[in-house]
Amino acid sequence: MDKLETALQKYFDYDSFRLGQREIIEDILAKKHVFATLPTGSGKSLCYQLPAYMLDGVVLVVTPLLSLMEDQIRQLKKRGFKQVVAINSFKTASERALIFNDLSTYKLIYLSPEMLQKKIIKQKLSQLTIALFVIDEAHCISQWGHEFRPDYLKLNEIIDQLGQPTVLALTATATSDVQQDIVNHFDTIQFNKHIYPVDRDNIAFMVQNVNNRVDKDKFLIDLFTKLTVPTIIYFSSKKESERVALLLSEKFNQLSIAFYHGDLDTNERLLIQEQFIEDQINIICSTSAFGMGVDKQNVRLVIHYHLPTQIESFIQEVGRAGRDQLESVSIALIAPGDKQLPLKLILNELPPVDILELITTHMNQTNQEWIQIVPSMITDIWGLNETQWRFIKNFFEETGILIDEDKINIKKITPMLRRDFIRKVEERNRYKLRKLNELFEWIDTKDCRREQLFKDFQTSVRSAKYHCCDRCGFEVEQWSPESVVRKQTASSWSDQLKSVLLPFKVGGIDNG
């Protein structure tokens, strides 16, 4: 056993590295910058967590995924690693102040990109020795990435300010264009590239066309009458995830079924995740909120009751099946009109084009030049959600209208600027629609679904280890997976679970 394996065994209790991990970690320890694409579920986080134990200095991880941060910290603490902390909007100002006091005692610090823009944080970080700067979800740098985060564009500058530590840029799904975009963005950094394929040869793909929601429900009921395997069903609507969870619970007494979405509190969510991992819950009806950081090996089936808004998200969600490399299946249920819901989601992500007029009208009443923005203005007066506000804020920053994070100069919002803004919103909208169309073209494809799904992400796609796809002749009837029976719940768990599942038992969900 060499030094790295010894460390892996000592800190994580694993016997061997997964694909790519060793090569990436060796480069990092040799102070080489690394750009890596590793598929979902392949152990991306270990690539910086193990170095955090081994390096002198701090490992900084920038990630937009707040729940993933919290999950990873919980898991690390469970393993006995206490020198880890997250700085994000979940923390109150006083909690943050406490963290800042002890900042030098941490080995691994998770940060949201928004937090990293704050002066006080930059100043505190500059006093530390940063051994490794990790850019998680690196595709957020690219305009053409599926989740562009304007704040990611400023990472370059921050890396310089921190004295150019070793950089690790990681992503699970980036097309070759996006990969190039990421590397180009950091023009002063020479990356060693580790690109691993994202395709999954153990998952069979199928699309089931149905007439309506009733048929989707019926399909699920028929399917679960025949098989019981660990399953995630994805929805775009919280209400629908609850409705179907209730419906299936009523039909299948012997199965344990839960819904999962952003309205549940952290404890409920953690509980459901644990239960699912332990096979105490069979089926999760969830929004896209579920899956990040849930390390479950034997998910056999991922069903899309609704589709996400782009292929990258679809690949990530499907990729939660079959991490144990055994045969697994992806089923997308499609009814006429199914494009409407993702269309609505896309529209909801972009600010209304006339928002600048609303903002100037509102601000003009105060008669001041620089006006401080408070959160209630954003949500209550302007009616914006977080994503919409992020878009506007970035535009304001780029055009010098916003300074010190929250002061805007109303006089600078000229008619010309308003036109620029509208052009920007429209451009983004077109891009999003194009991404959505890609996904629907995939739904309609007559060719092999596996090849079509992964073709933009890698030069060649492996052939299927088990079944391939419906276009290549796969039917779900051919699939006979081993049943996973529900495990007995420990009493304390069971009591806690009741509180989560209670709505099912009493049928008290308001379906509106």
Where does this chain bind Zn ion (CB under 5 A)? 448, 450, 468-469, 472
Smallest distance from the beta carbon of 323 to Zn ion, in angstroms? 21
Nearest-10 Cα torsion for 381, 385, 387, 392: -10
Cβ burial 264-298 (10 Å sphere, 16+ → b, else e): beeebbebbbebbbeebbbbbbbbbebbbebebeb
Smallest separation, CB 210 to Zn ion (Å): 21
d(CA 46, CA 24): 10
What tokens appear for 303 in the block?
């069903």
Smaller CB separation from Zn ion, 137 or 199:
199
Whichever of 245 and 318 has its CB closer to Zn ion, that residue is 318
- Quick check: 284 and 232 in contact, CB under 8 A? yes
End-to-end CA distance of the chain: 60
> Least distance to Zn ion from the beta carbon of 291, Å?
24
Q: Which is nearer to Zn ion, 183 or 472 (CB)?
A: 472
CB of 452 to Zn ion, least distance (A): 9
Amino acid at 461: V
Comparing CB distances to Zn ion, the nearer of 280 and 330 is 330
- Nearest approach, Cβ of residue 95 and Zn ion (Å): 50
Choice between 255 and 472, CB closer to Zn ion = 472
Lay out the sheet containing 283-286: strands in order across. Answer: 203-209, 328-334, 301-304, 231-234, 283-286, 257-260
Q: Which is nearer to Zn ion, 85 or 207 (CB)?
A: 207
Nearest-Å Rg of the Cα atoms of the chain is: 24
Least distance (Å) between residue 440 CB and Zn ion: 18
Q: CB nearer to Zn ion: give 21 or 330.
A: 330
- CB of 202 vs Zn ion, minimal distance in Å: 13
- Find the shortest distance in angstroms from Cβ 471 to Zn ion: 5
Rounded distance between C-alpha atoms, residue 450 and residue 448, angstroms: 6
d(CA 23, CA 505): 50
Q: Which is nearer to Zn ion, 283 or 448 (CB)?
A: 448
Q: Which is nearer to Zn ion, 62 or 206 (CB)?
A: 206
C-beta of 451: minimal distance to Zn ion in Å? 7
User: 280 and 485 in contact (C-beta within 8 Å)?
Assistant: no
Closest C-alpha to 72, from 56, 57, 88: 88
Residue whose CB is less far from Zn ion, 272 or 468: 468
Other CB atoms within a 10 A radius of the CB of residue 358 amount to 15
Hey, which bits of 201-314 come out as E strands? 203-209, 231-234, 257-260, 283-286, 301-304
Which tokens belong to 440? 């629907």
CA 79 to chain centre: 24
Return the number of the residue (320 or 450) whose C-beta is nearest Zn ion: 450
Pairing of strands 370-372, 407-409: antiparallel
Q: In this structure, what token pair is assigned to residue 377?
A: 């203005």
- 3 state SS of 58: strand
Asked if residues 61 and 70 have their Cβ atoms less than 8 Å apart, the reply is no
Cβ 204 to Zn ion, closest distance in Å? 8
Least distance from Zn ion to the Cβ atom of residue 463, Å: 8
Phi, psi of 403 (to 5 degrees): -130, 165
Q: Give the nearer residue to Zn ion in terms of CB position, either 60 or 464.
A: 464
Q: How far is the CB of 127 from Zn ion (least distance, A)?
A: 55
Q: Give 3-state DSSP helix, strand, coil % of the chain, rounded to 5.
A: 45, 15, 40
For 171, the token pair is 């992503």
